[in-house]
Amino acid sequence: AQSVAQPEDQVNVAEGNPLTVKCTYSVSGNPYLFWYVQYPNRGLQFLLKYITGDNLVKGSYGFEAEFNKSQTSFHLKKPSALVSDSALYFCAVRDRRNDYKLSFGAGTTVTVRA
């Protein structure tokens, strides 16, 4: 079975400060890892993914994430947050041996205050 944990329901930061959204995962085999962002009443927008290769992945809107196999983590980071980054963020994992099926974390609401 595969699962994702996002330990923080909410993250609050001031604009211009670093933003980190935490994610840990559990899979039987090697993972594919993803971050998505959701704005109110909208579908999910893809931010970035880790498939293989460099552990540091750079994605859309200045976000990046680091795959840490020993800690089974894939934390999302942004060096300088913007008010427009306020949204709901989902981490997702797919076991390479479990065709197609994505498992999502519970989501983390990010609020960036001006």
Partner 1 sequence: GAVVSQHPSWVICKSGTSVKIECRSLDFQATTMFWYRQFPKQSLMLMATSNEGSKATYEQGVEKDKFLINHASLTLSTLTVTSAHPEDSSFYICSAEKTGSYEQYFGPGTRLTVT
* AA letter at 11: V
| Degrees to nearest 5, angle at CA 80 with 8 and 3 | 30
The answer to whether the CB of 32 falls within 8 A of the CB of 92 is no
Q: Which is nearer to partner 1, 6 or 13 (CB)?
A: 6
**Exactly one of 19, 94, 95, 110 binds partner 1 (CB under 8 A); which one?**
94
Residue 16, both tokens:
């211009």
Which residues within the stretch 22-61 sit at the binding site for partner 1 (CB under 8 A)? 32, 34, 36, 41-46, 49, 51
Contacting residues toward partner 1, per CB under 8 A: 32, 34, 36, 41-46, 49, 51, 88, 90, 94, 100-107, 109
